[in-house]
């Protein structure tokens, strides 16, 4: 170990050594100048002071270049990392935007599918209702506009309303009361004398017709079907059935 040492340092760096060598060389040059015979002392001093002193050696220059290269490499690495981070953020943003767009598209598709399903269900329901109406219309009997048709239509209504009676029971009472004339009016019996003459096929007075009128039939007492059905309803409540009536009632 050298007998000269610096506090905190066990070894000298190449830069330090090179600098010291430069100082030593400068001192030797200055000494050589002072030993030249006949040279002015002041001139010697000016020569020494004007001589450039260089402390940088080839090793120090290389070290500086190495540091500069390292800094350049670090800057390039930082720039690359920044580019990678920006690319990653951009990719995440694009992925989120795509996810949002896909969700919106799915929501629209689901809404459209729901609307179509509801429209199809509504159309199916309407179609089924029309088909049912068509079937009902096809099954609905067509009644002749005569005594036979009136009796048959009244019997269908009576059956639907739970009013007892038969074709023969209705027919026999109609023939006895009006001989099948829906416009027949009794103007001489006690009802007529009291101001409420018997009217229609089964000779019903207006108060009785109004009290026993059957929903779904005409409110006109002269209407054949309404007259028969109201009279049959009255007979059912009074005698149990029109079939039980064989005389004026």
Q: Which residues contact 149 (CB under 8 A, 6 or more apart)?
A: 143
21-47 pLDDT per residue, tens: 444 444 444 444 344 444 444 444 444
Q: What is the pLDDT of residue 22?
A: 46
Q: Which residues contact 153 (CB under 8 A, 6 or more apart)?
A: 141, 143, 225
Each residue's pLDDT expressed in tens, for the chain with a length of 249 residues: 444 444 444 444 554 444 444 444 444 444 443 444 444 444 444 444 444 444 456 777 888 877 887 888 888 888 888 989 999 999 999 999 999 999 999 999 999 999 999 999 999 999 999 888 888 777 778 999 999 999 999 999 999 999 999 999 999 999 999 999 999 999 999 999 999 999 999 999 999 999 999 999 999 999 999 999 999 999 999 999 999 998 877
Strand partners, 9: 6
Q: What is the pLDDT of residue 24?
A: 47
Strand partners, 204: 199
Q: Where are the domains of the chain?
A: 14-55, 74-140, 147-244
Rounded to whole angstroms, how far apart are CA atoms 122 and 143? Answer: 35
Q: What is the CATH number of domain 147-244?
A: 1.10.530.10
Collapsing DSSP to helix, strand or coil, 197 comes out as coil
Rounded to whole angstroms, how far apart are CA atoms 3 and 18? Answer: 19
Q: What is the pLDDT of residue 57?
A: 62
Rounded to whole angstroms, how far apart are CA atoms 11 and 110? Answer: 79
Q: What is the pLDDT of residue 80?
A: 87
What's the residue count for the chain?
A: 249
Other beta carbons less than 10 A from residue 217's beta carbon: 20
Other beta carbons less than 10 A from residue 225's beta carbon: 22
Residue 203's region, left for phi above 0, alpha for psi from -120 to 50, else beta, is left
Question: pTM for this structure?
Answer: 0.48
Q: What is the pLDDT of residue 173?
A: 97
């Amino acid at each position: 170990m050298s007998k000269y040492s610096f506090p905190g340092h066990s070894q000298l760096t190449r830069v330090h050594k090179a600098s010291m060598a430069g100082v030593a060389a400068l001192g030797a040059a200055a000494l050589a100048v002072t030993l030249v015979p006949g040279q002015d002392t002041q001139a010697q001093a000016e020569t020494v002071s004007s001589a450039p002193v260089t402390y940088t050696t080839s090793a120090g220059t290389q070290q500086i270049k190495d540091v500069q290269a390292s800094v350049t490499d670090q800057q390039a690495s930082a720039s690359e990392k920044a580019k990678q981070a920006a690319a990653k953020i951009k990719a995440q943003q694009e992925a989120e935007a795509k996810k949002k767009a896909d969700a919106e598209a799915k929501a629209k598709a689901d809404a459209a599918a729901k609307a179509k399903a509801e429209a199809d269900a509504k159309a199916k329901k309407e179609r089924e209702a029309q088909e049912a109406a068509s079937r009902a219309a096809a099954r609905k009997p067509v009644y002749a506009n005569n005594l036979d048709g009136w009796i048959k239509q009244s019997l269908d209504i009576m059956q639907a309303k739970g009013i007892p009676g038969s074709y023969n029971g209705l027919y026999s009472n109609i023939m006895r009361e009006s001989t099948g004339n829906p416009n027949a009016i009794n103007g001489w019996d006690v009802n007529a004398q009291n101001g409420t003459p018997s009217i229609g096929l089964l000779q019903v007075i207006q108060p009785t017709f109004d009290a026993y009128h059957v929903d779904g039939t005409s409110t006109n007492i002269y209407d054949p079907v309404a007259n028969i059905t109201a009279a049959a309803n009255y007979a059912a409540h009074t005698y149990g059935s029109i079939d039980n009536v064989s005389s004026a009632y």
